[in-house]
Amino acid sequence: MEVDRSEPALITADEVLFDEPLGLVVARGSVEISQGERVLRADEVVYNTRTDVVTASGHVVLVDPDGGMVFSDFAELQSDLAEGFINSIGILLSDNSRIAATTGVRREDRVTEVERAVYSPCRLCEDDPMRPPLWQLRAVRVIRDEESQDIIYRDAFLDFFGIPVLYTPYLRHPDPSVAQRSGLLTPSVGRNGNLGTFVNVPYYIAISPSRDLTVTGGLSTDAGPLLRGLYRDRYAFGQIEVDASANYSDRLVDAGEPTEREEQRLRGHLFANGIFAIDDNWRASAAIALTSDDTYLDTFDITDADILRTSGLTEGFFDLSYARAEVISYRDLRDDAIQQPLVAPVLSYSHVGTPGGLLGGTWAADGSFLHLRRDDVEVSRMSAEASWSRRDILPIGLVSDLEAGFRQDLYLGDGVIDPDLPDDGDLEFATRTVPHAAWTLSYPWVRQGDGYRHIVEPLVGVFAAAQIDNNTVIPNNDSLDAQFNDINLFTADRFTGLDRVEDGVRVAYGVRNTLLLDDGGGADVFLGQSLRVAGSSDFPDGSDDVHRISDLVGRINLAPIPELNFSYRFQIDPRDFASLRHEIAASGEVYGVALSASYFFIDQTAGLGLTDDQAELTLAGSTALTDNWRVNANWRRDLDEQANRSIGLGAQYADECFIFRIDYQRDFTEDRDRNGGNSVIFQVGLRNLGQPAVSPRPAADP
């Protein structure tokens, strides 16, 4: 940093003396000299006007422009306070880390060079400040270069609790004021059933303030070397992120009798996504997910996703309209994988009228086109819908929601539209016309009390659509995961896509009971059911042609205090009150213990196409034992198979200068060349040496 030597110095002190024969200016008592952004404080300062030298003694503090402070008992500086000699030096950096040394020299207004120095970002013990910190760097010489923002060590030892554990002739790390700098990050070491013993060493490359690359080199005893890179780029109009890896290892191809067969090959993955604003109305995005084989991602703990999705998307946002064009492809990574479709293109457009316009309501228009290919099957779907909705609140408090609509679908396909027609390669087509209407009434009763508000709201809805044959003519590609629950009970069409339509006439009824507390807590209880009046539906709500009464669905949400939440969703057969589905989730933090639990049970007769019951329990928790120590645990068990799926334990120590983490995970799942088994990961981080600062979480009072 260049100093303006012509800038005047401002001196304040309890006493200032002038010795004209010797050319000395002596300031005593709370002396402060400031020149530009640099400040010198001391008990006594002597300025020699003939040699242009400033001598400071007694509680000397030199404040740098970047906020760092140098402490000493004696300093001899040039008049601009930029260069000189300092004795018994102590440097407080911008992040409160410290350098202490016997002597130091300040030169070129940017370099501080100290001898026999110690550096540490750790706080000293309040009871015994002379006791060594948790860790420190001792060096014969330490150089702090403010221009390059480097701290350089010569002949350095790394000490833990005053005991040397590592020596290096040269070490360099960024000054704490640096926001971004290339260098090694904290490595991780561990062992698991897929990789054996492994070590991962990441290196961070700062390309620009908005662009970086993290390259990780990994070695494992059972799966060979791994090279992985994460590239991130941010623009004013968008962003890109690319995650890729490569590995050369054996992969189990066939585990059948009589012998296992393996091959050695190049394996890897590529995940990339980006989003860009084209102009004020249009934006484009893309996501790529590729892998060399079905088990690679699981083996190297990259992701446990079962299906990968690659897509490209363009969207237009307007005042009352939305347009979308997309292409999508999928890859199934499961052991019993099924052929996934290529969907290209997917075009859609939606427009909403002005609220309160047509007949006091809001009209809307939607149109879409989709082309899907799977193996030798191709299907195109065109759909158009016009709808109108209106909400009225009557003077007595009754809420009325009325909607009506008309949808037209056209399907073109090659041998898949009508199974009664021969598959001769000619295009077949089918049309579907679906007028529909719905009317929902609710009557909320509200009671306001001291510290609470209580709402009881009965609801009833009538939903009607033209009777159609969904299964025998129209292929089903986007409505396979339909589920009956409390969320969609009062939805006109409860299928998730367009390939299936809920037809006929049904009546839904239920009651919602809500308690809102002023302190943030409360409760919400809902119970509902539907009755099919006319027609039959393929929607899995538990009804049949004889009884036409759906299962009972509902939920219970409880929050006795804002920090504790409990939810319970259920589906019950009304004929014998047998439980068909339970979903329970609880989370909260009490007395410093964070807990979460989830349980679900789905009976094979719940209408979801299951061949067996499914039940699973998951528990997780963590707590701060002290200000620095935190432990966690998790457990997942398949209750139907009476088998554990995973068990995990972990502990972490974190303070202002050091972090230590150990995690143990037991995975009981085996899939082809993925072995599961035990996994242990260790990680040690030193602040400013590849590890960012950590804010310890205080332990809560019991």
If pLDDT is split at 50, 70 and 90, which confidence band does 251 have?
low
Question: Does 29 map to a domain?
Answer: yes
Q: Tell me the average pLDDT across 210-234.
A: 93
d(CA 606, CA 590): 36
If pLDDT is split at 50, 70 and 90, which confidence band does 112 have?
confident
- Nearest CA to 71 out of 80, 58, 83, 55 is that of 58
Same domain, 486 and 615: no
Same domain, 504 and 588: no
If pLDDT is split at 50, 70 and 90, which confidence band does 547 have?
low
Same domain, 515 and 662: no
Question: Does 222 map to a domain?
Answer: no
CATH number at residue 12: 2.60.450.10
d(CA 676, CA 648): 13
Say if CB 476 and CB 500 are below 8 A apart.
yes
Same domain, 518 and 540: yes
Judged against a pLDDT cut of 50, whether residue 243 lies above it is answered with: yes
Judged against a pLDDT cut of 80, whether residue 402 lies above it is answered with: yes
* CB neighbourhood size of 206 (10 A): 15
Beta-carbon contacts of residue 675 (< 8 Å; ≥ 6 apart): 193, 194
pLDDT, tens only, 610-642: 667 889 999 999 999 998 999 999 999 998 888
Question: Does 252 map to a domain?
Answer: no
Question: Does 323 map to a domain?
Answer: no
Same domain, 381 and 513: yes
CA distance to 10, 27, 28, 42, 85, per residue, from 54 (Å): 14, 11, 13, 11, 10
Question: Does 420 map to a domain?
Answer: yes
Percent of the chain with pLDDT over 70: 89
Q: Tell me the average pLDDT across 226-243.
A: 95
Q: What is the pLDDT of residue 698?
A: 41
Instruction: Give the domain-ending residue among 521, 550, 579.
Output: 550
If pLDDT is split at 50, 70 and 90, which confidence band does 480 have?
confident
d(CA 211, CA 241): 10
> What mean pLDDT value characterizes the chain?
86
Judged against a pLDDT cut of 50, whether residue 296 lies above it is answered with: yes
d(CA 205, CA 671): 36
Q: Which of 337-341, 517-521, 606-610 tops mean pLDDT?
A: 517-521
Q: Tell me the average pLDDT across 585-598.
A: 91
Same domain, 459 and 567: no
Same domain, 408 and 515: yes
Instruction: Give the domain-ending residue among 550, 576, 598.
Output: 550
Q: What is the pLDDT of residue 535?
A: 77
Question: Does 97 map to a domain?
Answer: no
Q: What is the pLDDT of residue 418?
A: 58
Same domain, 524 and 570: no
Q: What is the pLDDT of residue 695?
A: 44
Same domain, 577 and 546: no
Q: Tell me the average pLDDT across 242-270.
A: 72
If pLDDT is split at 50, 70 and 90, which confidence band does 374 have?
confident
Is 471 strand, coil or helix?
A: coil
Judged against a pLDDT cut of 60, whether residue 678 lies above it is answered with: yes
Q: The whole model's pTM is what?
A: 0.81
Question: Does 198 map to a domain?
Answer: no
Instruction: Give the domain-ending residue among 37, 59, 82.
Output: 82
d(CA 86, CA 74): 6
- Nearest CA to 690 out of 202, 231, 281, 234 is that of 202
Question: Does 166 map to a domain?
Answer: no
* CB neighbourhood size of 355 (10 A): 12
Identify each DSSP E strand in 318-426 by its residue range.
Answer: 321-332, 342-352, 362-374, 377-393, 399-414
Computed on alpha carbons and rounded to an integer, the radius of gyration of the chain in Å comes to 35
d(CA 700, CA 702): 6
Q: Tell me the average pLDDT across 46-65.
A: 85
Is 298 strand, coil or helix?
A: helix
Say if CB 541 and CB 530 are below 8 A apart.
yes
pLDDT, tens only, 644-653: 889 999 999 9
Domain containing 65 equals 1-82
Same domain, 413 and 517: yes
Same domain, 636 and 658: yes
Same domain, 388 and 522: yes
- Nearest CA to 501 out of 529, 473, 462, 543 is that of 473
Is 442 strand, coil or helix?
A: strand
pLDDT, tens only, 312-364: 999 999 999 999 999 999 999 888 778 888 999 999 999 999 988 888 899 99
